[in-house]
Structure 1
Amino acid sequence: MAPLAALAALRGGSRRGSGPLYNLLGRAAVAGAPRAGALAIWDTKTAAAGEPSASRWLSTSLPALSVALKPVTPEEQEKLSHIRNIGISAHIDSGKTTTTERILFYTGRIKEIHEVRGKDGVGAKMDSMELEREKGITIQSAATYCRWKDTRINIIDTPGHVDFTIEVERALRVLDGAVLLLCGVGGVQSQSITVDRQMRRYQVPIGLEEFHEGVVDLVERRAFRFKGKAGLEIEEGPVPEELKGEVEARRAELIERVSEVDDELAELFLSEQPVGPGQLAAAIRRATIGNKFQPVFMGSAFKNKGVQLLLDGVSAYLPCPTEVNNTALDTSRDEAAVTVPCSPSGPFVGLAFKLEEGKYGQLTYMRVYSGTVKKGDFVVNSSNGRRVRVPRLVRVHSDELEDIAAASAGDIVALFGIECASGDTFTDGSVSLAMTSIRVPDPVMSVALTPKSTDQLPNFQRALARFQREDPTFTASNPNPRPPPPLQRACVVDCDVGRPKVNYRETVRRRAEFNYLHKKQSGGSGQFARVIGYIEPLPEDDSGAQSAPKFEFSNELVGNNIPPEFQPACEKGFKEAANAGALIGAPVEGVRVTLTDGAAHAVDSNELAFRLAAIGGFRAAYADAHPTVLEPIMKVEVTVPVEFQGTVMGDLNRRKGLILDSSQQQEDAILQALVPLAGMFGYSTSLRSNTQGKGEYAMEYSHHAPVTKDLQEELVVGHAKARATK
């Protein structure tokens, strides 16, 4: 029975805690060079998927230049060939932490298996936060390391909930491989259709659901059964007689599929020569690292079946650090893209991809891309040029730390006592390189947070500063800080949390001119400045979003009517005016300000006068430029059983959503829609109510678009009342 058919038969399986479908992407393509390779495992009985993560694979096409960096020596290659850096990510409740717990057990890193939200009160090793163990979900990515046979594996367990997408983004940025877990009960999610096309036929289960005993390896033509306590006893033997026909048919199809993406295997296939296990495994590895193929395994982590074969697959098919291309920017050559060889003897280059405040101070997670760093070394922060000392170097095992003397290329470690921000690059000072940054979307929602007592204000301020360093998605401003969920627990601050607020924007719809004179005389030197020009909207793309920068200043002055020393003050004034529009006080985006002329006074003109004149000129023209309020529009994907499709579509329409597409996958309807963020508050509860708890959705920011006329009037009136009460 093909896995997809088995999937349809598994819907009655356990709804929580079972082993997942794994898809190990050989390199995560997140804000860097395209990643390579993939490995997948199909589960025969798995947990139901929750809300899918809105994260997505990203890639860039920067042309890498050859630079004089030290190449990897044969000795270094041999050592690095036994290292794998992988991450585990998936939808919420798909078994990421359950899988990691088994990996740590089978590799000897932990002595007992504890379940997520287990009855023993201990909880999984990788969920070390109190809030994680209370909620039974992963909130922040956690790192660990283990050894399987002769391979050292660094692992990052990432959250699955859509609210913690950035944790996935920044973890995948530094990994060579990623484990994507998909739900067998709920079916392959719509965003995984591409992967699903290649995961249908590459391993055979021995039994399904409660009768699941093991799997058959099509490469080796061997059957594996998992018995004894926690599946520690692996019984290997020949393929059962009743499965031999299906196994041979599947193996022939596997060879055919791999030959489509591997020339060496294609020659054997076309000449109808027999393909041995070694030849097939080598072809699968080449195709996996080339990101052309995803081998599939079956297993059930919760039932302790197949995890050891997963570890074998990590070693056999996923790339080591030298088999991927890491791209950096050479800041000494106009940020030209360069390839950094993973050489331990090369110049030191490391990326701080995650910060965490611990009981001993700030813990900085770092991926070492080149060279070696030792305890006591001095390193240079490329973002600010500061030279700092490394006082302590550790390997991380969830909430446990192991001191080490040095770390070299290919390692993922942590440093203590270094002040930096997430995304900073460190070098030994001999090169001017910066690793490409992590993609961080702009925030579209905020909440008001106020300490309940003034004596908690110092802790509150320290908490805000801490989270701004740790979390690139976190921004704080007065009066609208937007804290992450663990704020109150982590910093011992009792807070009043206001209603969520939508981050509206303003823009203009037509060109308007200004000719503004700022003049002030009150004895002595006065202020005099005149600015002349116009403001206009920037071009929009098909979605209605601006395709150009949010704000653009164009200096078209001819002559010296505005002296050159005052022109930067004009630009500064226009930008300052754009920070708050006249309608609701929201930032003005998608606007270009063009300065064409002006006038100055020999005595009374100065930088302040021209800055104030620019502010006045912008505001004067803004009223005539048909200003409008923009609201964030979210791209929403809803997966529901077909019988609830009409009800859900009606609910989206009531929320002013625009249905873009509707398709069917097996028994589910997949709806794609654009919905204003303001209409998505409380949607999770509504969806569960409308679908008897069977629906799920994911959303991500799409663009800002004009609000309706009645909503704009409501927002303008509300803003005016709020200003009047201050």
Structure 2
Amino acid sequence: MDKWKTENIRNVAILGHGSCGKTTLVEALAYTAGVTERLGRVEEGNTISDYDKEEIKRLFSIHTSIVPIQWKSMKINLLDTPGYFDFAGEVEEAMYAADAAIIVVSGKSGVEVGTRKAWDLCERLAIPRMFFVTDMDDSQTDFGKIVRELTGLYGKKIAPFHLPIRENGEFTGFVNVVKRKGRTFIKNSEYKEREIPEEAEEELNQYRELLLEAVAETDEVLLEKYFNGEAFTQEEISHALRASVHENAIVPILMGSGVKVQGTTMLLQAIEKYFPKPEANPVIGIDQKKREEFIGDFDSEKPMTAQVFKTIADPFIGKFSLVKVYSGILKSDTSILNVSKGAEEKLSRLYVLRGKEQIQVDALEAGDIGAIAKMSSVVTGDSLAAKEAPVLYEPFTFSKPYTYVRYEAAKEGDDDKISQALQKLLEEDKTLKIEHDVSSHQTLLYGMGDQHIEVALSKLFNRYKVELNISKPRVPYRETIRKRVSVQGKYKKQSGGHGQYADVHMDFEPLNDLEQAYQFDECIFGGAVPKNYFPAVEKGVVESLAKGPLAGYPVVGIHATLTDGSYHPVDSSELAFKMAAIQAFRQGFMEASPVLLEPVVSLKVVVPDKFTGDVMGDLNKRRGKVLGISPVKNKQEITADIPLSEVFGYSVALRSMTGGYGEFSYEFARYEQASQEVQEKVVKESKEQHAV
């Protein structure tokens, strides 16, 4: 593939709800541009984008794939993203490399939750966008209804550029609303001019009025002209539309059929005409040598700087670091600096990826996207630069995973293999997380949802031949006491020769600080227990804290005081005093009104207003305490305190309640005394577990 100048590059993310036709559209665009001679189909597992075994098996995108195509004098890097919410990290990676986005809407399904989430993501990152309504070949598709829905959601920003023409129920062409011209498809997406059907005139006038209104809103001079009833020139319309799309003041709606390759030529023309060059989105970094700001403005004359936006770690094709060049020219067979790690790397081969195809290139100009093989120190988010300009860019942030499962090796001796395989997955997917919970003796795998975790497990098995057993996580309960007690612990053992003897009198009482495990004091008078045995007594207390007598959970908030005791000059030892303290602890703990503490998290749920009642009702059923509701960007944010045990499986429940519109996050707040019902259940389960 040729080296492309910055002004001729467009980086475009393809977004939308799951199964709305994104991959099919990318396939149609590649076919229209002459990249392929045969149209691949998702159902047949032969598309350019969905080449991974998991994607072929499941018939939907799991990873972001890059499909570069040439259209006229342009190189368009299409970033085909997953639509299912469990793979949001892949979408976020694509958006860090994209300069614009196409939000695909299925004409059959209409505006879905994924459509709105794609819009929200574009808004958050200030990315120019346009809608493409696909499935126009389906007679049930109602383009007007979709336009009305989008206009109702996003107002006068929405500007339909096309109006469908149907003859005998078939989608045969379109009216170009901008130029007020009729078009008829002659072969796939190719078209010729035709008369505008009479029956389309009324709808055309409506769309034309919407378009002109949107144009008028972009400029005071044009607005005045509009109110005075003066007509806009074609040049004024085109210029205003281009500037307004760049500024997110106007969002065009185009249409077609991915399956029948209709409308793709118009879409490519719109990308060329309306989408910005990379230089429209400069990136700010800090030159580590000069300690001053460096603007990555996609100037090829500047020193080379780039950033890794995605990592592919596959055992069959190897490791690839996908980069976007922010300035200068990235060349093969050079040494570059990983500024984030302070490590020099030898870059031997440079590639452009098209799906799984690896196309070797000599260089990438500023603004372009490519892949570097076998960069050992490099991970997603790292800044790469020429040594003379060590520019560090801000690392990327990704959605935090909240769904988790407990896992163990299915086969003994696989722990090292599993650890290495998981590390590869974590390199590739920034929304997977591993957590070793020492207090509850379990290892947890976090993901964006159940499907995300299921796919990760499948990859581990198919790619790396390791298998995990997963189970419901053990809730990290704690144990403490509610009253003060005084007890005696005596350890006496005689087995020939020297025996073992220790006697301790101890007070145990609440520390009134659950953040602290324990506090140990002594108030011994007259040498009843020699000072050299005090550490042994404390050690006995500390060892007892790890597994509480109530249900086997760690103990917190204990104040232990050694008040009296006795010893034997020959038979006493540190071991004996430690054992005596352990006995005293067990007895004292169970006499001091022991209670179970459960972790409580602060939960935030953001939902459209109409779901507020359902969500609050469900939180009450989960023993949650709703603390407040506040408006957040046309939605409601519900804040509640809820036991951690009730959060397990919440992502599935929330999606079911809200049709996927709800989002949640939480963080640990504190420990609270569990209800008697919960305590009895947990203690019973603990006894049953130990009885097995």
TM bracket (short chain) = 0.5 to 0.7
Counterparts of 1:536 and 1:686, CA distance in 2: 35
Of 422, 432, 445, 1:474 maps to: 432
**Which residue in the other structure is 1:493 paired with?**
465
How high is the sequence identity, in percent, across the aligned residues? Answer: 24
Q: Is 2:6 the counterpart of 1:83?
A: no
**Which residue in the other structure is 2:69 paired with?**
146
- Relative to 1, partners in 2 of residues 1:672 and 1:304: Cα closer, same or farther, differing over 3 Å? farther
**Which residue in the other structure is 1:277 paired with?**
234
- Relative to 1, partners in 2 of residues 1:432 and 1:725: Cα closer, same or farther, differing over 3 Å? farther
RMSD over aligned CA atoms reads 4.5
Secondary structure of 1:140's match?
A: coil
Shift of 1:244: 2.6
**Which residue in the other structure is 2:337 paired with?**
380
- Relative to 1, partners in 2 of residues 1:377 and 1:277: Cα closer, same or farther, differing over 3 Å? same
Shift of 1:321: 0.9
- Relative to 1, partners in 2 of residues 1:724 and 1:329: Cα closer, same or farther, differing over 3 Å? farther
Per mean C-alpha deviation after superposition, the further-off stretch among 372-381 and 244-253 is 244-253
Shift of 1:503: 8.2
Paired amino acid for 1:241 = E
**Which residue in the other structure is 1:452 paired with?**
410
**Which residue in the other structure is 1:654 paired with?**
621
**Which residue in the other structure is 2:185 paired with?**
226
Once the two structures are superposed, residues 49-81 of structure 1 have per-residue CA deviations (whole angstroms, 9 ceiling, x without a partner) of xxxxxxxxxxxxxxxxxxxxxxxxxxx9x9422
CA contact (8 A) 1:322 1:342 kept: yes
Task: Tell me which protein shows more strand as a share of its residues.
Answer: 2
**Which residue in the other structure is 2:665 paired with?**
701
Counterparts of 1:208 and 1:437, CA distance in 2: 53
Of 403, 410, 420, 1:462 maps to: 420
Alignment of 1:574-653 (within 5 A): 629-631=599-601, 633=603, 635=605, 637=607
Secondary structure of 1:207's match?
A: strand
CA contact (8 A) 1:451 1:493 kept: no
Once the two structures are superposed, residues 261-292 of structure 1 have per-residue CA deviations (whole angstroms, 9 ceiling, x without a partner) of 23464464356443233321111110111122
- Relative to 1, partners in 2 of residues 1:143 and 1:195: Cα closer, same or farther, differing over 3 Å? farther
- Relative to 1, partners in 2 of residues 1:712 and 1:648: Cα closer, same or farther, differing over 3 Å? closer
- Relative to 1, partners in 2 of residues 1:686 and 1:164: Cα closer, same or farther, differing over 3 Å? closer
CA contact (8 A) 1:84 1:154 kept: yes
Secondary structure of 1:292's match?
A: coil
Of 336, 344, 352, 2:300 maps to: 344
- Relative to 1, partners in 2 of residues 1:658 and 1:88: Cα closer, same or farther, differing over 3 Å? farther
Shift of 1:430: 2.0
Secondary structure of 2:38's match?
A: coil
- Relative to 1, partners in 2 of residues 1:337 and 1:210: Cα closer, same or farther, differing over 3 Å? farther
CA contact (8 A) 1:103 1:307 kept: yes
How many residues align structurally? 531
Counterparts of 2:390 and 2:8, CA distance in 1: 30
Secondary structure of 2:312's match?
A: strand
Counterparts of 2:382 and 2:154, CA distance in 1: 36
**Which residue in the other structure is 2:391 paired with?**
433
Secondary structure of 1:132's match?
A: helix
**Which residue in the other structure is 2:521 paired with?**
none
Q: Is 2:49 the counterpart of 1:126?
A: yes
- Relative to 1, partners in 2 of residues 1:500 and 1:396: Cα closer, same or farther, differing over 3 Å? farther
CA contact (8 A) 2:601 2:666 kept: no
**Gapped runs of 5+ residues in structure 1?**
1-75, 509-533, 539-579, 589-625, 664-669
Counterparts of 2:409 and 2:394, CA distance in 1: 37
Q: Is 2:312 the counterpart of 1:356?
A: yes
Shift of 1:111: 1.6
**Which residue in the other structure is 2:485 paired with?**
none
Secondary structure of 2:92's match?
A: helix
CA contact (8 A) 1:93 1:160 kept: yes
Alignment of 1:296-375 (within 5 A): 296-331=253-288, 338-358=294-314, 359-375=316-332
CA contact (8 A) 2:88 2:399 kept: no
Counterparts of 1:158 and 1:377, CA distance in 2: 31
- Relative to 1, partners in 2 of residues 1:158 and 1:463: Cα closer, same or farther, differing over 3 Å? same
- Relative to 1, partners in 2 of residues 1:489 and 1:104: Cα closer, same or farther, differing over 3 Å? farther
Paired amino acid for 1:496 = L
Paired amino acid for 2:306 = G
Of 97, 105, 119, 2:31 maps to: 105
CA contact (8 A) 2:332 2:350 kept: yes
- Relative to 1, partners in 2 of residues 1:695 and 1:291: Cα closer, same or farther, differing over 3 Å? closer
Alignment of 1:225-264 (within 5 A): 225-228=184-187, 231-263=188-220
Of 92, 99, 102, 1:176 maps to: 99
CA contact (8 A) 1:505 1:630 kept: no
Per mean C-alpha deviation after superposition, the further-off stretch among 234-243 and 475-484 is 475-484
CA contact (8 A) 2:338 2:344 kept: yes
Counterparts of 1:226 and 1:716, CA distance in 2: 68
Paired amino acid for 1:468 = L
CA contact (8 A) 2:190 2:265 kept: no
- Relative to 1, partners in 2 of residues 1:454 and 1:288: Cα closer, same or farther, differing over 3 Å? same
Per mean C-alpha deviation after superposition, the further-off stretch among 180-189 and 193-202 is 193-202
Paired amino acid for 1:353 = F
Larger RCO (CA within 8 A; separation ≥ 6) = 1
- Relative to 1, partners in 2 of residues 1:133 and 1:639: Cα closer, same or farther, differing over 3 Å? farther
Secondary structure of 2:175's match?
A: strand
Secondary structure of 1:501's match?
A: coil
Once the two structures are superposed, residues 480-529 of structure 1 have per-residue CA deviations (whole angstroms, 9 ceiling, x without a partner) of 142634432453324233224388799x9xxxxxxxxxxxxxxxxxxxxx
Alignment of 1:683-698 (within 5 A): 695-698=659-662
Counterparts of 2:475 and 2:105, CA distance in 1: 33
Counterparts of 2:667 and 2:173, CA distance in 1: 48
Secondary structure of 1:173's match?
A: helix
Secondary structure of 2:404's match?
A: strand
Secondary structure of 1:301's match?
A: coil
Alignment of 1:490-569 (within 5 A): 490-501=462-473
Q: Is 2:362 the counterpart of 1:390?
A: no
Secondary structure of 2:473's match?
A: strand
Counterparts of 1:502 and 1:164, CA distance in 2: 26
Shift of 1:446: 2.8
Alignment of 1:180-195 (within 5 A): 180-189=103-112, 191=116
CA contact (8 A) 2:286 2:391 kept: yes
Counterparts of 1:183 and 1:683, CA distance in 2: 29
CA contact (8 A) 1:226 1:304 kept: no
Shift of 1:399: 0.5
TM superposition score normalised by structure 2 = 0.66
Paired amino acid for 1:158 = T
CA contact (8 A) 1:382 1:433 kept: yes
CA contact (8 A) 2:408 2:443 kept: no
Secondary structure of 1:127's match?
A: coil
Paired amino acid for 1:80 = T
Q: Which has the larger radius of gyration?
A: 2
Paired amino acid for 2:408 = T
Paired amino acid for 2:177 = L
Paired amino acid for 1:654 = K
Per mean C-alpha deviation after superposition, the further-off stretch among 301-310 and 81-90 is 301-310
TM superposition score normalised by structure 1 = 0.63
**Gapped runs of 5+ residues in structure 2?**
120-149, 437-441, 446-452, 481-510, 516-545, 557-595
Of 163, 166, 173, 2:86 maps to: 163
